[in-house]
Amino acid sequence: MKARVRGASALLAVVASIAAVSATLPAVSPAAATSSDYALATQTLPDGHKVVARWDPCRTITYSVNARYAAGKSSHRNAAIRDVQAAFARASVATGINFKYVGSTTQIPTNTSANRWYERQNSAEIVVSWVRQGSSASRSSLLSRVGRGSAAGTGGYAFKYWKVTGSPWTGVTGRGFVVLDGSQIGTFKAGFGSGSTRGALLLHEIGHSLGLLHVGSTSQVMYPTVLPRSYAGYATGDRNGLRHLGTASGCVNAPGWVWTDLS
């Protein structure tokens, strides 16, 4: 945790939260859960109140893509970027949030000895990046290991809370990431069609970056394993959760010094 004071009336603290990873595993039997299941990430404020960790849905949220390790050919890398754009378009429909693609980036979300990922992230509010864990120059400390290899992907967010004299503690998410293992590109089919697809993986990890957690229902995109499907799209529970994270829950008004606006 990091804190700093801006004048006598305000205290700003930072909490970084990384959502659990998603890996491709053999199909499993459906869990005992309903199709409307969803789970929202929460943060506990200094006064003890627990709040849903969400972005301000009333402002434009930017995202950039590092597709260098998404494919060998430039045409395939461009196709990967189009899948990212399509995934954010689906998230926009579910949340009412305006997501804006601001172009490619060379940034890889990762923690270093000097600072954490959200302190270094300046190309966009959310960075989507494929990585190669075998090289120190192209790896991310955010991508966990599963068995003998890396997880297929991970997503997460950074949340800040603050207090101004006379007002209660308030918090808002302002940075997010999606990190995908480039060595597993052959595991997922491009697009959002049948089978285990890149689209489904992107929808899952973008869900984490927006504040969704894993659920026990295999019919939902937020089930912790990417399963073969007839079509990749947010299911009823996923959409219900995203609706609670979006414009339906109202704006989150934050002072300009809480998060630097990258839009």
Q: What is the pLDDT of residue 23?
A: 40
pLDDT tens readout for residues 14-49: 555 554 444 433 333 333 445 579 999 999 999 999
Average pLDDT over residues 98-113: 96
> Are the C-beta atoms of residues 208 and 226 closer than 8 Å to each other?
no
Q: What integer best gives the mean pLDDT of the chain? A: 87
Domains and CATH numbers, the chain: 2-19+35-244 (3.40.390.10)
Give CA separation, 67 vs 47, 63, 127, in Å.
Answer: 41, 13, 11
Give CA separation, 62 vs 180, 193, 242, in Å.
Answer: 19, 26, 17
pLDDT at 52 over 70: yes
Give CA separation, 107 vs 11, 124, 128, 137, 200, in Å.
Answer: 30, 10, 9, 11, 23
Q: What is the pLDDT of residue 4?
A: 31
Tokens of 165: 């004299």
Q: How far apart are the first and last CA of the chain?
A: 26
Q: What is the pLDDT of residue 151?
A: 86
DSSP state of 231: S
pLDDT bracket for residue 1 (50, 70, 90): very low
Lowest mean pLDDT: which of 94-103, 141-150, 202-211? 141-150
What pTM, to 2 d.p., does this model score? 0.89
Q: What is the pLDDT of residue 239?
A: 97
Q: How far apart are CA 40 and CA 158, in angstroms?
A: 15
Residues 6+ apart with CB under 8 A from 263: 59, 60, 61, 62, 100, 125
Give CA separation, 23 vs 85, 143, 168, 177, in Å.
Answer: 22, 11, 39, 17
Average pLDDT over residues 79-89: 98
Q: What is the pLDDT of residue 200?
A: 96
